[in-house]
Structure 1
Amino acid sequence: MLTYSLLACDMDGTLLGDDASICQRNIRVIRQAMAAGLHFVPCTGRGFESLGPVQKPLGQFGKAGEYVISYNGALITENKGNTILYEDGLPWDLAAALYAYGTEHNITMHVYPYGKVYLYNYVPFERAFLEGRMPNIETFEKSLDFLRGETIYKIVYMDPDIDTLNTYRQDLGPLLDEVTVSYSSNRYLEFNHKQVTKGTALLRLARLLDIPQERTMAIGDNINDIEMLRAASLSVGVRNLNPAIGAYCDVVTDADNNEGAVGEAIERFVLKG
């Protein structure tokens, strides 16, 4: 039996290289570990629909018994049919208020309903970053009413200046009492429903699969991975991690995200011996 049988892995900056590709070392080692019984679970702020380029080389695409944690933990799906196992979206009035603040201040925003992502104020800086990472739909709507009736799993504000993001957070004040706030990619301020984190989703999926917490492992690189790293029995940071998460990592890899850090961690702690 493997020491760790459920591995939750962040995508951008962790599994994926700077060019958004998955290197051959990661593919080879992950497939080997999956063949030995490991549940390798992408755990991402993205939507599940963007992960085909990751799932296909790993042999996970459309398969039963393979899973994705997406939208920072707001949605857990099984790959076959993208079947929903768990979901927790933002209350509609709250999502609409966050969107209204974003349009009022002309903020570049991501809005995530099921299976899609809409981009408001889609500036060239963000277009360049997202190219090849995930499909999206540009919108010019000033109100969130165009998505009324759909579950909104997450809303994201983008700005490369962290002080600007912090100003938005302070301005929103009590509106965020029912929100989990996180940061990622040194450019995003992310809003999920209260209690939604990658960590709560990891433990929820472990329970669904009847896997004890002591057999869980997580790998990440940035601030929105902290709760996932805290929840797992073994927490691994990649060499290129944000220094703010170092205290939450049991170990840091020698390799960075371009050099197969995830493969290194699996070799050391899952396939050892």
Structure 2
Amino acid sequence: MYKMIVSDLDESLLRDDGSVSPRDIATIHKLRDEGVKFVPNTGRGFASVQPLLATIGTKDLAGQYVISYNGGAIVENKDNRIIVQHTLPLAVADQIYRLAMAEGDLCAHIYTFHHVYVANINEPERDYLENRGVDYIEFDGQDLSQFKDRNIAKVIFQHLDFGVRRRFYEKVEATVKAPLTVTYSSNRYVEFNPDAIDKGKAAIALGEQIGISKDEIIALGDNSNDLSMLQQVGLGVAVANGIPAVKHAAGLVLDATNNDDPVTELYEKVFKQD
């Protein structure tokens, strides 16, 4: 029997307008009442998903959790207690950031464990962040020296052209010698996390903390940064709008897109008793 669902947010749980459908909210409440934990597993910071947790009914509850920064932090919702955190060395983050600023057309996001800082923002990205309800602080700097006293969880860079993102990744790979975990997400980001950090390892680590085996975990996702969790847990589930690699890795591909009550379909196919 499955005891925990870890779910990506953007383009998976969340509809295109950034909301969760009323049916899926009711289903998540039903799952909780049946003893199944519903854990957002997201690239976002845990501070930015508090309104979502309120919506799904797990905000500030003991024994309920969020996985943030693509696995960089595991947080218990009660008092936002950080159970596990991994940091990207400042020198590495700074080197990647400088390379991005030299490109001129990349929007940079610097994630500390409590805030998101955005540099070189463009209008499509401003609209996207506002649609998703992401609180951020704009800053203007050619380096990350202002972060010397703060822990950095990850750095990500936005451009709507995948070719641009891919070329930047290749530039970082050729220049930065430190090992990194690199993923693409939301058809707009290339993300740089500390080495050996991913959503799958974090889901399993959380399960070990609370007595749930990997075979008792379901993962729901749509994009390449979700592959690790779909491949490592008991059942990987892809939404219908998932990229081909995610659908190939999944044990179950839903008929529902992120706009069509995916959690409800998952519940009906996996949990509902005839």
* TM-score of the two chains, using structure 1 as the length reference: 0.96
Within 5 Å, give how 1:116-135 maps onto structure 2.
116-133=115-132, 134-135=134-135
Distance, in Å, in 2 between the alignment partners of 1:163 and 1:60 is 39
Residue of structure 1 equivalent to 2:87: 89
Q: Deviations over 1:72-121 (max 9, x none)?
A: 00000001111110011111211111111122222211110011111110
Distance, in Å, in 2 between the alignment partners of 1:222 and 1:210 is 28
Distance, in Å, in 1 between the alignment partners of 2:48 and 2:190 is 20
1:109 corresponds to 2:105: no
1:155 corresponds to 2:184: no
Distance, in Å, in 1 between the alignment partners of 2:191 and 2:184 is 6
1:71 pairs with one of 69, 72, 78: 69
Deviation (angstroms), 1:225: 0.2
Residues 92 and 178 in structure 2, CA contact (< 8 A), matched pair in contact too: no
Residue of structure 2 equivalent to 1:205: 206
Within 5 Å, give how 1:228-267 maps onto structure 2.
228-267=229-268
1:7 pairs with one of 5, 8, 11: 5
Match of 1:51, SS? Answer: helix
1:20 corresponds to 2:21: no
Distance, in Å, in 2 between the alignment partners of 1:196 and 1:160 is 25
Distance, in Å, in 2 between the alignment partners of 1:67 and 1:12 is 18
Count residues with an aligned counterpart: 271
Residues 76 and 86 in structure 1, CA contact (< 8 A), matched pair in contact too: yes
Deviation (angstroms), 1:174: 4.8
Distance, in Å, in 2 between the alignment partners of 1:272 and 1:205 is 27
Match of 2:97, SS? Answer: helix
Structure 1 outlier segments of 4+, above 4 Å = none
Residues 95 and 155 in structure 1, CA contact (< 8 A), matched pair in contact too: yes
Match of 1:200, SS? Answer: helix
Match of 2:13, SS? Answer: coil
Residues 221 and 239 in structure 2, CA contact (< 8 A), matched pair in contact too: yes
Residues 14 and 262 in structure 1, CA contact (< 8 A), matched pair in contact too: no
The CA RMSD measured in Å over matched residues stands at: 1.2
Distance, in Å, in 2 between the alignment partners of 1:185 and 1:176 is 26
Distance, in Å, in 1 between the alignment partners of 2:78 and 2:271 is 26
Deviation (angstroms), 1:160: 0.8
Distance, in Å, in 2 between the alignment partners of 1:213 and 1:143 is 40
1:80 corresponds to 2:81: no
Deviation (angstroms), 1:244: 2.5
Distance, in Å, in 2 between the alignment partners of 1:66 and 1:238 is 24
Distance, in Å, in 2 between the alignment partners of 1:188 and 1:272 is 40
Percent identical residues: 35
Amino acid at match of 1:140: D
Deviation (angstroms), 1:125: 1.3
Deviation (angstroms), 1:177: 4.5
Residues 155 and 190 in structure 1, CA contact (< 8 A), matched pair in contact too: yes
Match of 1:131, SS? Answer: helix
Residues 67 and 78 in structure 1, CA contact (< 8 A), matched pair in contact too: yes
Distance, in Å, in 1 between the alignment partners of 2:226 and 2:5 is 13
Distance, in Å, in 2 between the alignment partners of 1:250 and 1:176 is 36
* TM-score of the two chains, using structure 2 as the length reference: 0.96
Deviation (angstroms), 1:69: 0.2
Match of 1:262, SS? Answer: helix
Shift of the 9–176 alpha-carbon distance from structure 1 to 2, 3 Å rule, reads: farther
Residues 107 and 157 in structure 2, CA contact (< 8 A), matched pair in contact too: yes
Distance, in Å, in 2 between the alignment partners of 1:149 and 1:159 is 29
1:164 corresponds to 2:201: no
1:46 corresponds to 2:44: yes
Q: Larger deviation: 213-222 or 263-272? A: 263-272
